[in-house]
Structure 1
Amino acid sequence: MSEPAKPTSAAEKEEANKRQRAAVDLALAESPARSTGSVELGGQRLAYRVDAGFMPVRSGQHGETHGEPEAAIFTTAYQLEADAARQRPVCFAFNGGPGSASIFLHLGALGPKRVRVRDDGGMPVPPYRVEDNPLSWFEHFDLVFLDPPHTGFSLTASEEARKKAFSVDGDVAMLCEAMRAWLTRHQRWGSPVYLCGESYGTTRAAAMAEQLCEQGVALAGLVLVSCAMDIQALEFSPRNDLPYALFLPAFAGTAQFHGCLKGPQAASADAARAAALDFVHGDYLSALHRGAALSEKERGRIARRVGELIGLAPAVVEHMNLRVPDMRYFHELLRDRGQVLGRLDARVAGPMGPDRKREWEFDPSIDALAAPYTMAAMDYFRGTLGIGMGEGAVERVYVPMSMQAHKAWNWNRGEAQGNSYACTSPDLARALRRLPHLAVFVASGQFDLGTPYSATDWSLDQLDITAEVRSRITHRYYGAGHMMYTREADIRQLKADLVSWLGDLPH
Structure 2
Amino acid sequence: MRKLPLAVALATLLLGSAVQANDHHDDKKDKTPQDKADATLVTPKTAESEGSVSVEGKRIDYKAVAGTLVLNGSGDKESEPQVSMFYTAYFKKAADAGKRPITFIYNGGPGSATVWLHMGAFGPKRVVTSDDSHTPAAPYGLVNNDYSLLDASDLVFIDAPGAGFSRLIANDEDKGKRDEQMKDRRKSIYGIDGDGHAFAHFITQFLSHYGRWNSPKYLFGESYGTTRSAVVANILESEDSVDLNGVVLLSQILSFDTSIDGPQFNPGVDTPYIVALPTFAATAFYHHRLPQQPAQLEPFLREVEQYATGDYAQALMAGSRLDAARKQAVAEKLHTYTGLPVDYLLRANLRVTGGMFEHELQNADGLTTGRLDSRFSGPSLDPMAKDSEYDPQSSAISSAYVAAFNDYVRKQLKFGQDMNYRLYADIDHWDFAHKAPGVEGEALQQSTNVMPDLATAMKTNPNLKVFLNGGYYDLATPYFAADYEMHHMPIPDSLQGNISYAWYPSGHMVYANTESLKMLHDNVARFIQSTDNIRH
TM-score when normalising by structure 1: 0.91
Task: Give identity over the alignment, percent.
Answer: 34
Report what 1:27 is aligned to.
41
Q: Choose from 415, 434, 445 the match for 1:413.
A: 434
Alignment of 1:13-412 (within 5 A): 23-29=37-43, 31-41=45-55, 43-60=57-74, 66-82=78-94, 84-157=96-169, 158-214=182-238, 215-234=240-259, 235-236=262-263, 237-239=265-267, 240-263=269-292, 266-353=294-381, 356-389=384-417, 395-402=418-425, 404-405=426-427, 408-412=429-433
Q: Structure 1 110/204 Cα, relative in aligned 2: closer, same or farther at 3 Å? A: same
Q: Distance in 2 between matches of 1:201 and 1:346?
A: 21
- Deviations, residues 46-90 of structure 1 (Å, cap 9, x unaligned): 2211111111111126xx994201111111111122262353111
Deviations 1:169-200 (A, max 9, x none): 00000111111111111121121111100000
The secondary structure found in structure 2 opposite 1:420 is coil
The 3 A distance-change label for structure 1 pair 224 and 310 is same
Give 1:280 shift.
Answer: 1.4
Task: List gaps (5 residues or longer) in structure 1.
Answer: 6-17, 390-394
Which residue, out of 444, 450, 459, partners 2:470?
444
CA separation of 1:468 and 1:24: change in aligned 2, threshold 3 A = farther
Displacement of 1:469? 1.2
The amino acid across from 1:174 in the alignment is A
- Relative to structure 2, which stretch is displaced further, 111-120 or 168-177? 111-120
Question: Within 5 A, what are the aligned runs for 1:483-502?
Answer: 483-502=509-528
Residue 392 (structure 1) aligns with: none
Aligned-CA RMSD value: 2.1
Q: Would the aligned equivalents of 2:358 and 2:387 in 1 still touch at CA under 8 Å?
A: no
- 2:530 pairs with 1:475: no
Looking at secondary structure, tell me which structure has more helix per residue: 1
In structure 1, distance between residues paired with 2:351 and 2:77: 53
Mapped to 1, the partners of 2:225 and 2:38 lie a distance apart of: 24
**Which letter does structure 1 place at the counterpart of 2:147?**
L
CA separation of 1:462 and 1:378: change in aligned 2, threshold 3 A: same
Distance in 2 between the 1:32 and 1:447 partners? 39
- The DSSP-based 3-state class of the residue aligned with 2:506 is coil
Partners in 2 of 1:291 and 1:83 — Cα distance?
A: 60
1:125 deviates by 4.3
Distance 1:65 1:52 in 2: 27
Matched position secondary structure for 2:54: strand
Deviations 1:269-316 (A, max 9, x none): 334423322221221111111111111111211222222211111111
Q: Deviations over 1:354-392 (max 9, x none)?
A: 654335432010111211101000000111111134xxx
Alpha-carbon deviation of 1:253?
Answer: 1.1
Q: Which amino acid aligns with 1:246?
A: V
CA drift at 1:28: 3.3
How far 1:475 moved relative to its partner? 0.5
3-state secondary structure, aligned to 2:69 = strand
The answer as to whether partners of 1:87 and 1:188 remain within 8 angstroms in 2 is no
Conservation of the 8 A alpha-carbon contact between 1:50 and 1:76: yes
Please list every run of 5 or more consecutive structure 2 residues that lacks an aligned counterpart in the other structure.
1-10, 16-31, 170-181, 436-441
**Partner of residue 2 from structure 1, selected from 8, 12, 30:** 12
Q: Which of 449, 472, 492 matches 1:423?
A: 449
Change (3 A) 1:359 1:446: closer
Distance 2:127 2:386 in 1: 33
Q: When the two structures are aligned, how many residues end up with a matched partner?
A: 484
Instruction: Work out whether residues 356 and 388 of structure 2, in 8 Å CA contact, stay in contact via their aligned partners in 1.
Output: no
Question: Residue 444 of structure 1: CA displacement?
Answer: 0.5
CA 1:247–1:83: 2 relative to 1, 3 Å: closer
Which amino acid letter does the alignment assign opposite residue 12 of structure 2? S
Secondary structure of 2:42 counterpart: helix
Query: 1:272–1:4: structure 2 CA closer, same or farther, 3 Å change rule?
Result: same
CA distance in 2, matches of 1:438, 1:21: 45
Q: Where does residue 488 of structure 2 map in the other structure? A: 462
Q: Which amino acid aligns with 2:416?
A: G
Code of the aligned partner of 1:377: F
Q: Distance in 2 between matches of 1:485 and 1:443?
A: 11
| 2-structure distance, mates of 1:290, 1:359 | 26
2:461 alignment partner AA: L
SS at match of 1:87: coil
1:319-365 deviation per Cα after TM superposition (whole angstroms, max 9, x unaligned)? 11110011011111101010000001001110013654335432010
Verify the 8 A CA contact 1:20 1:155 in the aligned structure 2: no
Please report how far the alpha carbon of residue 21 of structure 1 lies from its aligned counterpart in structure 2 after TM superposition: 7.1
**Which amino acid counterpart does residue 429 of structure 2 have in structure 1?**
A
Deviation of the 1:31 alpha carbon: 3.0
For residues 282 and 51 of structure 1, what CA distance do their matches in structure 2 show? 52
Q: Distance in 2 between matches of 1:440 and 1:286?
A: 31
Distance of aligned partners of 1:124 and 1:467 in 2 relative to their CA distance in 1, 3 Å threshold = farther
Cα distance change, pair 44–266 in 1 and its aligned pair in 2 (3 A): closer
Q: What code does the residue aligned with 1:409 have?
A: W
Deviates more, 1:120-129 or 1:376-385: 120-129
Provide the residue aligned with 2:174 in structure 1: none
The whole-number CA distance in structure 1 between the counterparts of 2:484 and 2:36 is 46
